[in-house]
Copies of this chain bind each other. A is one copy, B any other.
Amino acid sequence: MSETKNFTLAVVPGDGIGPEVTTEALKVLDAVAAQHGVTFERTEYDLGAKRWHATGETLPDAELEEIRKHDAILLGAVGDPSVPSGVLERGLLLKLRFTLDHYVNLRPSKIYPSVGSPLANPGEVDFVVVREGTEGPYVGNGGALRVGTPAEIATEVSVNTAYGVERVVRDAFARAQARPRKKLTLVHKNNVLVHAGHLWKRTVDKVAEEFPEITVDYLHVDAATIFLVTDPARFDVIVTDNLFGDIITDLAAAISGGIGLAASGNINPDRTAPSMFEPVHGSAPDIAGQQKADPTAAILSAALLLEHLGLTEAARAIEDAVTADIEERTGVARSTAEIGDAIAKRAAG
């Protein structure tokens, strides 16, 4: 008999629909754990809007250091209209991504045949976006002068380093190498953002020499949005900066079955800190607490978590359960818990 292996999870349910979808993701994790000889010991962290209102805290450093001790992090969603825009996003979500060096923000897109796409003829869509997670316009190096006066000036600085770009580009090439189509598309805007754009382009050209089997192309971000609606099947692996990645992965989710299905991993490939898994969708405060949210994206994020921990079979069990569930979706609304129950049952299969 094999031993049971225990993994520690830090759980951040967060705001809005975050807690509801996280409950279902954990339910499904538990459902597959037993057969795959693992257990998950969870610690929940009360972070988000409520905490901020009560204490003014977003993510105290001591708590971040506790979270760091876990094997992985599962996050629901962050952000609430009652909190000034940016406070929770920067102070909690981005603080986690940056401090834990989640430089690969992995976002797969797949069209399930049974799920309606808003596109008339989407074709066979199965690509993954490798979004840089620790640089670009997300670094928080902006500022403002004379705020609220007619002479106000506000800046945002995009910071890009050879160190930061090369490591994510290498990760993307390795992923492309492991996929059947072996294709990598760099998305940037190097005809306008020439300094950052040329660094990205030169880095891709350099690393490409080590991956002769990979077909490489380049698209400006504006052109990429066109292809995402006219020919999304052309993409295999996309590598791009933090902001462009944010934009195109929401679009990618929208064309491939909707934001209710889009999972993501904030990955630290060097494993110097735990990686974090979360749905691409936001906290959707308008439907929070009503059991209306689709937990599938959170559940698929849990599958990415398992894969990252090396539990490939358990990950596959969840993915297969989700695929089977999606194939039977009839359009009749189910509650968040009902969807979670159905997928958990199948995954435990």
Contact residues of A with B, CB < 8 Å? 79, 85-86, 89-90, 94, 116-121, 137-138, 142-144, 147-163, 166, 189-199, 201-202, 221-223, 225-226, 228-230, 243, 246-251, 253-255, 258-259, 282
Contact = CB atoms under 8 A, between A and B. Distances in A.
Contacts of A223: 250, 282
Q: Which 5 A-B pairs have the closest CB atoms?
A: A222-B250, A86-B194, A152-B162, A154-B195, A225-B251
A163 B118 CA distance: 39
A190 B156 contact: no
Nearest to A188: B85
Given A118-B120, A251-B251, A259-B226, A192 B155 contact: no
Contacts of A225: 225, 247-248, 250-251, 254
A190 to B, nearest CB: 5
A199 to B, nearest CB: 4
A246 B199 CA distance: 21
Nearest to A144: B195
A226 B199 contact: no
Nearest to A116: B120
A86 B254 contact: no
A230 B129 CA distance: 21
A108 B33 CA distance: 53
